[in-house]
């Protein structure tokens, strides 16, 4: 599962909403015509995470899929802003540690100590 997932929401002066996100399966960008369209978009993303049978979701547990779907539902309540790592399960520190461990493993390093 990807670790550099994000969410950006921007309210435009013309009432439209620009949204870009990377939720672990898809990176997407949309300009939504109004708040109702924004709410429908988020509901659609949540439904896709809960119910899609596409191969993109293989390897994701039902629990993980529900967690991401719940985050898409929660997006409906967020204000404008940049939400780095929004769709990840861990904290930024946790994500960093996972990346270091993966890198060490890929380099064949088995015995190390992380000092933070």
pLDDT tens figures, 46-60 = 999 999 999 999 888
Q: Residue 2's pLDDT band (boundaries 50, 70, 90)?
A: low
Joined together, the tokens standing for residue 41 give 């978009």
What is the percentage of the chain residues whose pLDDT exceeds 90? 68
Measuring CA to CA, which residue among 41, 48, 49 is closest to residue 20?
41
Mean pLDDT of the chain: 91
Task: Identify the DSSP state of 111.
Answer: S
pLDDT, one tens digit per residue, over 78-92 is: 999 999 889 987 777
pLDDT in the model for residue 94: 77
**What does the angle CA 45 – CA 46 – CA 47 come to, to the nearest 5 degrees?**
90
- Residue 53: strand, helix, or coil: coil
Give the mean pLDDT of 64-74. 96
pLDDT in the model for residue 71: 96
Cα separation, 69 vs 27, whole angstroms: 15
Give the mean pLDDT of 91-113. 83
Q: Residue 4's pLDDT band (boundaries 50, 70, 90)?
A: confident
């Amino acid at each position: 599962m990807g670790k550099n997932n994000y969410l950006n929401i921007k309210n435009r002066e013309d009432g439209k909403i620009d949204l870009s996100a990377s939720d672990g399966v898809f990176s997407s960008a949309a300009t939504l015509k109004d708040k109702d369209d924004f709410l429908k978009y988020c509901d659609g993303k949540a439904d896709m995470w809960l119910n899609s049978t596409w191969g993109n979701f293989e390897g994701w547990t039902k629990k993980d899929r529900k967690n991401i779907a719940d985050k898409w539902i929660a997006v409906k309540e967020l204000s404008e802003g940049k939400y780095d790592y929004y769709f990840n399960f861990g904290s930024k520190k946790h994500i960093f540690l996972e990346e270091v461990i993966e890198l060490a493993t890929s380099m064949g390093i088995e015995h190390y100590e992380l000092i933070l």
